[in-house]
Amino acid sequence: DQQVKQNSPSLSVQEGRISILNCDYTNSMFDYFLWYKKYPAEGPTFLISISSIKDKNEDGRFTVFLNKSAKHLSLHIVPSQPGDSAVYFCAAITGANNLFFGTGTRLTVIP
């Protein structure tokens, strides 16, 4: 049972434009949501997180939005840069410290 879903396996965006990566979840008990970025042959690296009591968190070019009623979160990257090309994973944590990852979305930023 996939509790965290990323329905778009890939996304291509022109450099300078906005990238929007989406994630849906089914468990209303998640406390925290995180986004990770992964380059080939490297471990995922933490990007940004959001608590379930907030609806937006911003860090530089990265903003995460949480819509609890829709059980949906999104990561916005603006402006997108070629170095942002990677696989992006969303993850969610329950209060019992169970950690669930989505299947990832491959972002390609075209120069």
Partner 1 sequence: EPEVTQTPSHQVTQMGQEVILRCVPISNHLYFYWYRQILGQKVEFLVSFYNNEISEKSEIFDDQFSVERPDGSNFTLKIRSTKLEDSAMYFCASFRNPFVYFGPGTRLTVL
Q: Which residues bind partner 1 (CB under 8 A)?
A: 31-32, 34, 36, 38, 41-46, 49, 51, 89, 91, 93, 97-101, 103-104
Smallest distance, partner 1 to C-beta of residue 66, A:
14
Partnered with residue 48 across adjacent β-strands are 35
Residue 33, exposed/middle/buried by CB under 10 A (0-12, 13-18, 19+)?
Answer: buried
- Closest contact distance (angstroms) between CB of 18 and partner 1 is 25
Instruction: Quote the CA–CA distance of 3 and 77 in Å, as a whole number.
Output: 24
Of 27 and 45, nearer to partner 1 (C-beta) is 45
- Smallest distance, Å, CB 105 to partner 1? 11
3-state secondary structure of 17: coil
